Amino acid sequence: MTRLNRDQLVQLAKSQITEWTPRQLDEQRKKGEAVTVVDIRERDEWMQGHIPQSVFIPRGFLELQIEQHQPDRDMPVVIYCAGGVRSALAARNLQEMGYTNVISLIGGFNGWKNASLDFKVPKVLDEDQRIRYSRHTMLQEIGEEGQLKLLDSKVLLIGAGGLGSPAAFYLAAAGVGQIGIVDYDTVDVSNLQRQILHGQSDVGRPKVESAADTLREINPEVKVVGYQEPITSHNALEMISGYDVVLNGSDNFPTRYLVNDACQMLGIPLVDASIFMFEGQVTVYQPRQAEAGVEGGPCYRCLYPDPPPPGEVPSCAEAGVLGVLPGTVGCIQAIEAIKLLVGFGEPLIGRLLMIDTSDMTFRTLKVKRNSECPVCGDHPTVTELIDYNQFCGLPSTEQTTEAASLNGHHSTEKVLA
Ligand code: ZN
């Protein structure tokens, strides 16, 4: 058997395979040829930049993983490394596996860059983030890519109370980039039985400030934006737009209808929940967006077209609530938000989860979009925000907003952490 030195081996490999220049590859792709481009360098090399739409399979895994990316052995597969040597040797191995159309890129990634062709530098987690979120990134459904999505996403919480508290805790811990909190209330001793964002020393403080302090301690990386004002028809669209998901933790009907309508109009998914004594409900209202191929589901008005007469449904302040109940329900909201943001699993779209903690039963009811719905139906009649207090048979919104400003509650958006 002939002994070959390094150069002879490379020479032999190159004589047995096809090579393309970076320009040739670029032209083939521009012609619309289906070419699988494989980067066989090491992870740190890939992270510093790679050819767009290429797949990353480190050299050591090439034979083991190539079939997942190109099972058809007659389709063109372009392999590249840094300079075109490793890829020439690897191309020969793929030929031995029966790949008939393997091409090695002349000059590798350096050649690609020197030809002034576009390349992509991926966003990556830094060292601290890699450690902090390691239990997420090891889940295939999230991975580094999913965690980067979370870090890049914005969730708005309507209320920093019973539901908002646990949701905010876990969303901050999960690394959601920005958490907005709408709440003009101050912390009261009677809140502490369930609103775990706030503690004894926070009594009398604005809830948004107390919440921001707590969340900063959980995860200093998260930006907390407080809206210390009531959400109304005048400010709802502005407040909500720019967020990726809204979590409803409000305890009154005008806000429920308002937030629903605003989210539908803006095309933003709403994770809605309500609690009563020992029972809770959670669902996701995903607006339909035909252009984007989002089928969506029903909205709050599809399920509840008309508000109950004022005073008919008692609030938690009137009927009481098991303190840990919003803990469970708010955590389910946080899970749904994370699923929507990362894009895995089956969100509660078109399904209403009903929880009864007294006998600990969880049931899901299928719910459908109503084609006659005034907001999300085929012929919507409500196309701008209305006076929701009036709609719910209460004094007009204008008056409540004014009252709130008179009480000194009114303020603008503030970055709190
Ligand atoms: Zn609807």
- Hey, is 48 helix, strand or coil? coil
Claim to verify: residue 216 and residue 67 sit in the same structural domain: no
Helix or strand run (H / E) with residue 139 = none
CA distances from 374 to 147, 264, 280, 384, 389 (A): 37, 11, 26, 11, 17
Q: How far is the CA of 386 from the centre of ligand 1 (A)?
A: 15
Confidence of residue 200 (pLDDT cuts 50, 70, 90): very high
pLDDT digits (tens, 9 = 90+) for 355-389: 999 999 999 999 999 999 999 999 999 999 999 99
Ramachandran sector of residue 412 (left: φ over 0; alpha: ψ -120 to 50; beta: rest): beta
Residue bearing the bigger pLDDT, 316 or 121: 121
Lowest average pLDDT, out of 1-15, 39-53, 158-172, goes to 1-15
Q: Determine the pLDDT at residue 124.
A: 87
Instruction: Kindly state whether residues 221 and 272 are assigned to the same domain.
Output: yes
- For residue range 393-409, list pLDDT tens digits in order: 888 765 544 444 444 44
394 and 274, same structural domain?
A: yes
Spacing, Cα 96 to ligand 1 middle (Å): 59
**SS3 call for 155:** strand
Is residue 169 a part of any domain in this protein? yes
Segments forming the whole domain that contains residue 308: 153-415
Residue 411 has pLDDT above 80, yes or no: no
Does residue 123 belong to any structural domain of this protein?
no
CATH number, position 158: 3.40.50.720
Among 61, 83, 114, the domain boundary falls at: 114
> Do 187 and 198 meet the contact criterion of CB atoms below 8 Å apart?
yes
pLDDT at site 251: 86
- pLDDT value for 202: 98
> 175 with 28, same domain?
no
Consecutive H or E run containing 95: helix 86-96
Q: Side chain identity at 264, as an amino acid letter?
A: Q
Q: Identify the pLDDT of residue 234.
A: 96
Report yes or no: 156 and 248 within 8 Å, Cβ to Cβ.
no
Q: What is the DSSP letter of 214?
A: H
**Which of 96, 114, 132 corresponds to the end of one domain?**
114
Do the bridges between strand 223-227 and strand 178-182 make them parallel or antiparallel, or are there none, so unpaired? parallel
- Residue 209 pLDDT exceeds 90: yes
Q: Are residues 322 and 211 in the same domain?
A: yes
Given this model, what pLDDT does residue 247 score? 98
Q: Is 360 a domain residue?
A: yes
* Strand-pair partners of 277: 321
CA distance 118 to 116: 7
Residue 321 inside a domain? The answer is: yes
Question: 187: CA distance to ligand 1 center in Å?
Answer: 34
With respect to residue 189, please indicate whether it lies within any of the assigned structural domains. yes
Q: How far is the CA of 158 from the centre of ligand 1 (A)?
A: 20
- How many whole angstroms from 330 Cα to the centroid of ligand 1? 23
Give the three-class secondary structure for 192: coil
Tell whether 66 and 189 lie within a shared domain.
no
Q: Are residues 336 and 240 in the same domain?
A: yes
pLDDT one-digit tens code per residue, 71-102: 999 999 999 999 999 999 999 999 999 999 99
65: domain CATH number? 3.40.250.10
Alpha carbons within 13 angstroms on the beta-carbon side of residue 345 total 15
For residue 1, the model assigns a pLDDT of 64
Q: Which amino acid, one-letter code, is at 346?
A: E
In terms of domains, do 81 and 164 share one? Answer: no
Report the share of the chain in percent with pLDDT over 90. Answer: 81
Same domain for 279 and 357, yes or no, is: yes
| One domain for residues 270 and 324 | yes
Q: Which of 107 and 122 is assigned the larger pLDDT?
A: 107
Ligand 1 centroid – CA 77 distance (Å): 49
Same domain, 211 and 350: yes
The conformation of residue 332, written as its DSSP 8-state character, comes to H
pLDDT confidence of residue 417: 61
Q: Is residue 304 part of a domain?
A: yes
Ligand 1 centre distance from Cα of residue 328 (Å): 26
CA nearest to 388, candidates 243, 262, 229, 241: 262
pLDDT (0 to 100) of residue 41: 97
CA count, 13 A, side-chain hemisphere, 166: 18
CA of 311 to the centre of ligand 1 (A): 24
- Asked whether residue 120 is assigned to any structural domain, the reply reads no
* Ion ligand 1 residues within 5 Å by Cβ: 299, 301-302, 373, 375-376
| Mean pLDDT (whole number) for 231-247 | 97
Of 278, 283, 238, 229, residue with least CA distance to 256:
283
**Mean predicted lDDT score pLDDT of the chain:** 92
Nearest C-alpha neighbor of 232 from the set 64, 410, 1, 30: 410
Residue 133 in any domain: the answer is no
Q: Same domain, yes or no, for 310 and 178?
A: yes
Reported confidence tier of residue 412, pLDDT bands at 50, 70, 90:
low
Q: Which of these three, 86, 114, 142, is where a domain ends?
A: 114
**Count of structural domains, the chain:** 2
